Each structure stands twice: as structure tokens, then as C-alpha cells.
Amino acid sequence: MHSTLTEQARCLYGDEFRPTPPCDLPHREHHFVQELTFAGPDTILAMLHELCPPPVSGHLPVWIRHLAYRLVLLQRPDELVLMREAADCLELFGPDRDDIAADLRHRADALEAA
């Protein structure tokens, strides 16, 4: 068993910034997604920042990255820096989520102005 979500993600998807450590554990994406789903925001952000430091893309699949930001924003809905970071991530991968990114930026700006 991996000791952190980051280690589990690194073994499953690799790491653009350092070698993937040798590991004999079985790796199943659905197990990782379960761990991600119930992880706390600090754990998820640690994984994102280590494996995909903004604005670099890293090796995590885009859908995993978007899910991770969504889960963190559900737990920390009023964190301005996080909203903008998630918006940057959405914009990095094409126009199909630009409306969501714009909404996040608008919400962050409105909260900041209040």
C-alpha cells in the first residue's frame, strides 16, 4: 500500500519531474480514483502541486486533474487562489471548459471585491 496519494499517482501515471520508483504493488485506476474521491483537500493539492505544478501539465490525465480540482473546490469553495489555479488548469487543455474557467475567475473576482 502506498503511504500517500501522490505516491499512488506517481506509480500509476508516472512523473514528469523525477523517475518513477520501482513498485511491485498492483495499480488499478479505479482504486486510485476511490482514494482521490475521499481524500482531503491538502492531500489532493499536495499531489497536484508535486506532479503537475502550475502551469506545467505533468503526466496526470486531464480528467483526473479536473476531478481533483473539482473535489478540492467542493471542500474549499471560497478559496480565491484555488479558484484561479483551477481555472488556469481548465484553460490549459482547450476551449471546451473555458466557460467553467471564466465562471471560476468571475466568482474569485467577486469574492475578492466583497
Convert the pLDDT of each residue in 35-82 to its tens digit.
999 999 999 999 999 998 876 778 899 999 999 999 999 999 999 999
Report pTM: 0.91
Q: What pLDDT score does 55 carry? A: 66
Task: Judge residue 31's burial from the number of C-beta atoms within 10 Å of its C-beta, 0-12 exposed, 13-18 middle, 19 or more buried.
Answer: middle
